[in-house]
Structure 1
Amino acid sequence: MNGVEAFLLGRTLMKIGEQAMPRPKSGPAGAVRSVVVVLGDVVSHPGTTVGEIAARTGLPQSQVSTAVARLEQAGSVDTEPDPADRRRRLIRPAAEPSARVTEVRATTIDEALVAALTGPDGTAPTPDTVREVTDALDLLAHALTPSVTAR
Structure 2
Amino acid sequence: MNIARLRRLGRRLAELARASDGEDQPMPTPGEEAVFEDVLRHPGSSVGEIQSRTGFAQSHVSASVARMRERGILETGPDPADGRRTQVRVADVTMHRLFRRATTPVEEVVREAVPDPADADRAVALLKELESLLITDESHGQG
TM-score range, shorter chain: 0.5 to 0.7
Q: Deviations over 1:30-54 (max 9, x none)?
A: 23x2298253342356525288379
Deviation at 1:10, TM superposition (A): 1.5
Of 129, 141, 151, which aligns to 2:135?
A: 141
**Distance in 2 between residues matched to 1:100 and 1:89, nearest whole Å:** 24
Deviation at 1:7, TM superposition (A): 1.5
Q: Residue 49 of structure 1 aligns with which residue? A: 47
Report if aligned partners of 1:78, 1:91 keep a CA contact under 8 Å in 2.
Answer: yes
Consecutive unaligned residues of structure 2, counting only runs of 5 or more, are none
**Greater relative contact order (CA < 8 Å, ≥ 6 in sequence):** 1
Q: Does the residue aligned with 2:88 lie in a helix, a strand or coil?
A: strand
Deviation at 1:15, TM superposition (A): 0.7
Q: How many residues align?
A: 129
**Distance in 1 between residues matched to 2:77 and 2:7, nearest whole Å:** 33
Of 71, 76, 100, which aligns to 2:73?
A: 71
Q: Residue 13 of structure 1 aligns with which residue? A: 13
Q: Does the residue aligned with 1:34 lie in a helix, a strand or coil?
A: coil
Change (3 A) 1:13 1:102: same
**Distance in 2 between residues matched to 1:18 and 1:90, nearest whole Å:** 27
Deviation at 1:105, TM superposition (A): 2.3
The alignment status of 1:110 with 2:123, answered yes or no, reads no
Q: Deviations over 1:101-120 (max 9, x none)?
A: 3323222332222233x2xx
**Distance in 1 between residues matched to 2:120 and 2:5, nearest whole Å:** 25
The alignment status of 1:30 with 2:14, answered yes or no, reads no
- The RMSD of aligned alpha carbons is 4.1
Q: Which amino acid aligns with 2:88?
A: I
**Distance in 2 between residues matched to 1:79 and 1:136, nearest whole Å:** 43
Q: Which amino acid aligns with 1:49?
A: V
Q: Does the residue aligned with 1:145 lie in a helix, a strand or coil?
A: coil
**Distance in 1 between residues matched to 2:116 and 2:61, nearest whole Å:** 41
